[in-house]
Amino acid sequence: MANIIGVTVNFHTTVDDKDREEAVTISLRDPYATIIGSVTLGSGNTFKDHSIIGPFFVGCPLRESSNLTLFLGKTGDNGWHFKVSVAGVQQNGELIQLVDENQDADFVFDGDTQSTFFSLS
């Protein structure tokens, strides 16, 4: 794919919002599962139904995007239904689309599942 220095992430909440008391963590991991960039956000904020929130930036050392995995996790046990779009940030500041929200099904965080991983290849 592309050499990147980070990603921008947008969340499109669908039918179940992210509640105010819960935080979201976005992490980039290398092939050895080492966290090379991470941000925690959203505590104190509701991501309302049918809203788009972001972009949120997660920086990392220069890496080939196809060697990275994106982790999304949420505290608490309330539900959140959302889609995600991810763009890689190149050294010159240009963005390259890595994940298009229309290509992925809704993620459903509920009492049993509060995190997901996916490849940026």
Report the pLDDT value the prediction gives residue 39, as an integer from 0 to 100. Answer: 97
More confident site: 20 or 103: 20
Which tokens belong to 26? 């976005």
Beta bridge partners of 87: 8, 97
Closest CA to 71 of 101, 114, 15: 114
> Which residues constitute the domain of residue 27?
3-119
For the chain, percent helix, then strand, then coil, each to nearest 5?
A: 5, 55, 40
The mean predicted confidence, pLDDT, of the chain is: 89
pTM of the full structure: 0.89
Phi, psi of 65 (to 5 degrees): -60, -35
* CATH number of the domain where residue 46 is located: 2.60.60
How many structural domains comprise the chain?
1
pLDDT confidence of 78, banded at 50, 70, 90? Answer: confident
Closest C-alpha among 18, 24, 23 to residue 78:
18
